[in-house]
Structure 1
Amino acid sequence: MKNKGHYLKLVLFLGFCFIGLNTHAQKLEVLIDEAIKNNPEIQKVELQYSIASEKVIEVNSIPNTEFAVGYFISEPETRTGAQRARISVKQMLPWFGSITARENYASSLADAKYEDIVITKRKLITSVSQSYYNLYTNKAKQLVLTENIKLLETYETLALTSVEVGKASAVDVLRLQMRQNEMQQLKDVLQQQFLAEQTNLNNLLNRDDAMSVQLIDELIIPSEDVEINLGELALHPELLKYDKLYKSVEQSELLNQKESSPMIGFGLDYIPVSERTDMNLIDNGKDIVMPMVSVSIPIFNKKYKSISKQNELQQQEINYQKQERLNSLETLLDKAIKERISARISYVTQTKNLKQAKDAEGILIKSFETGTIDFNDVLDIQELQLKFQMNQIESIKTYYVQTAIINYLTNR
């Protein structure tokens, strides 16, 4: 039932991740599924949960049965004969309900460990998404640089033509070429950063570092954001884990109370007796069988009182830890919401600025037709266009990265 519940949570979470993407965005979902299946950290945490679950079976046992055999070197004589040896068997039994208390305690620890699986998967989904958006941003910037390099090549052609007719100088041509060199350098650097980020993503998926990643063609900011249910934050697995840890301490205290109760033991002693040959007696040589009952009482119980005090203090600590983490998650969520709003505002502004820069570019091109063009203005406008385009891409990236964080915090 737990696995099914987690599967439903995961489906809902993935659904929110892909809002605003086109049909090619399904590639990200495939990568996330692959990461969840192959990531070694997920496998490690799942094994830890399996080990914790096995503990429930481990504690469902009673103390070992004790067997003892002794041989009398000097046989003690009794009225009915000499005792030759002693054979004993003894079984201690915990107080009523002790084994159940152990099972409940082990089960509560396993439940808390299960939340680590949910948390790790959520974090992995967020990391894969953010890495994917970083790759998209890098690729988009490279495409913008390629377009701007081609644009400068066009301007260079115009400048060479102007030099031939005496309307521009060779310095203008050199400036355009230097600007192209700078852009090519930025593109080459981005390519190396792309490969580094691709390695990071492939490692999250636990596959070959050099494996190519297929990216979406275009990301757009949706016209409206999905409504955020702030109440979901209280049900975040990081906080639920503290609730389960608190419950495990409660179970630990119940177990401590049972452990402080007496233990009852049942046993049997068997003593073989040799027959006497010097006289004929009733029960001559009759073996001795002695059933036994024992009780183990913890008279000195300071140990159990100390454990009770420790449990009480640990519960207080867990409550403070939960409140501290809740405050951190609330801060993180509020920051992500505000930064996503800022990204939308920035995107709108950069779009307006980019349109105005293109209008200015059009005016410059028309001025060339009349025989006048200032290539310093060309470089200035081109630099502004590049700046606005890069900022626009960054705004899109910020929007989706912050969305991934919001999804991590609010999706069940």
Structure 2
Amino acid sequence: MKYKSIHIKIVLALGSCFLSLFVNAQQLETLIDEALENNPEIQKFELQYKRVSEKVNEVNTIPNTEFGVGYFVSEPETRTGAQRFKVSAKQMLPWFGTITSRENYVSALADAKYEDIVIAKRKLMASVAQSYYKLYANKAKQDVLAQNIQLLKTYETLALTSVEVGKASAVDVLRLQMRQNELQQLKDVLYQQFLSEQTNLNNLLNRENDVEVTVVDSLTIPIEDFEINTENLSVHSELLKYDKLYQSIEQSELLNQKESSPMIGFGLDYINVSERPDMNFSDNGKDVVMPMVSVSIPIFNKKYKSISKQNELEQQEINYQKQERLNSLKTMLDKAINDRISARISNTTATKNIKQAKDAEQILIKSYETGTIDFNDVLDIQELQLKFQMGQIEAIKNYYLQSTIINYLIQ
């Protein structure tokens, strides 16, 4: 179908728009392709579409042909002989164009159902991308914690040396060790969360839960955001579905008008007549053949008037549903845009703070060389640096999460 091929192109274009954002997105591209191919929800909607499309063949039929056979128990005598049995056949035909209207109605329903496939694919692509970025953020935080643990071990070595020369106490060493234990705990918890999110992503791809997912080593926020065309929101698949549903109601009303028209029937009766004995005339025993035409007229047509009223009300309902969903999508888009701006601001601030924290760290190292290091300051600076690093990772993750939402809405 031409309509189907157009929507496939839309989905593929959406995928390319997702991937154009990510310099190192080959792994993500592979995951999205696998999800689109194997996800059971997509397969479910595709089967639903095929099932509804198959109904075109179901409605492309006419009423059953009626056959009847009757035997005269008491044979009625006629001038030409006694009637023995009767055979009849009858076929009712719907009004001209009724079957075509049925096919158009079912096709309109199939078009609306196909939008479910497009919507599900778009949502799946966004879900896979978002899960991927959550995994990236989790892995990046684990790496940052590992670096900070190693840094604290370096400070611990310095503290032990200072204890030996009487410039630090054993309490400083213990505080550094406790901080290491705390960070190790956070790292272990993050690893368990990574496994949980990895299971979620594997389920989206319909594969075993323990399949290992690899993510990019680093992500940065691009210098400029991609262009946002808010006009594309009005032709979003979630809104197009309401248009297709509206059109299906229009086809339903056309079908209702056709079905309120008369039905024409054609039939044939055959009556077997036996010959009259001891008589000789031209029509003796002549069988009766009687062609028939019948008309079925819906005189009491309140049913069809009621259906027309229901169709009108349903169209109004669909219009309100579409407007409601459009407002929701506008709100979602505006929130995603503002949240992405906030993520960029947070990333910029975190970058500055990380640089300043590293400068403070260098000052502490130089202080140790002069024998005046304060390990309380060491822990304070380390804690601040970790906070800023975690915040930067979170900002990058949020930037890309909001980008996937924006892409889902406008591409």
SS in 2 for 1:285: coil
CA deviation map 1:284-342 (0-9, x unaligned):
11100000000000000000000000000000000000000000000000000000000
Task: Indicate the residue corresponding to 1:39 in structure 2.
Answer: 39
SS in 1 for 2:90: strand
Which AA in structure 1 matches 2:33?
D
Task: Indicate the residue corresponding to 2:9 in structure 1.
Answer: 8
- Residue 280 of structure 1 and its aligned partner are, at CA, apart by 2.1
Task: Indicate the residue corresponding to 2:325 in structure 1.
Answer: 325
- Residue 2 of structure 1 and its aligned partner are, at CA, apart by 3.3
Contact 1:350 1:388 in 2 (8 A): yes
Contact 1:21 1:220 in 2 (8 A): no
Q: How does 1:102-251 map to 2 (within 5 A)?
A: 102-251=102-251
Contact 1:105 1:255 in 2 (8 A): yes
TM-score (norm 2): 0.98
CA deviation map 1:199-222 (0-9, x unaligned):
110000001110011211111100
SS in 1 for 2:20: coil
C-alpha distance in 2 between matches for 1:326 and 1:299: 44
C-alpha distance in 2 between matches for 1:32 and 1:2: 23
Contact 1:268 1:289 in 2 (8 A): yes
CA deviation map 1:169-202 (0-9, x unaligned):
0000000000000000001001111111101100
Q: Percent identity?
A: 76
Which AA in structure 2 matches 1:252?
S
Structure 2 gaps, min length 5: none
Contact 1:20 1:220 in 2 (8 A): no
- Residue 20 of structure 1 and its aligned partner are, at CA, apart by 4.2
- Residue 64 of structure 1 and its aligned partner are, at CA, apart by 1.0
- Residue 109 of structure 1 and its aligned partner are, at CA, apart by 0.5
Task: Indicate the residue corresponding to 1:87 in structure 2.
Answer: 87
- Residue 6 of structure 1 and its aligned partner are, at CA, apart by 2.6
SS in 1 for 2:273: coil
Contact 2:32 2:128 in 1 (8 A): yes
Task: Indicate the residue corresponding to 1:303 in structure 2.
Answer: 303
Contact 1:93 1:264 in 2 (8 A): yes
C-alpha distance in 1 between matches for 2:12 and 2:107: 27
CA deviation map 1:91-140 (0-9, x unaligned):
10111111111111111101100100000000000110001001001000
Which AA in structure 1 matches 2:16?
G
Task: Indicate the residue corresponding to 2:401 in structure 1.
Answer: 401
Contact 2:11 2:118 in 1 (8 A): no
Task: Indicate the residue corresponding to 1:255 in structure 2.
Answer: 255
C-alpha distance in 2 between matches for 1:261 and 1:371: 103
State the number of aligned residues.
410
Contact 2:275 2:286 in 1 (8 A): yes
CA deviation map 1:15-54 (0-9, x unaligned):
22123433x4111011000000000000000010011111
Structure 1 gaps, min length 5: none
Task: Indicate the residue corresponding to 2:383 in structure 1.
Answer: 383
C-alpha distance in 2 between matches for 1:185 and 1:303: 70
Task: Indicate the residue corresponding to 1:366 in structure 2.
Answer: 366
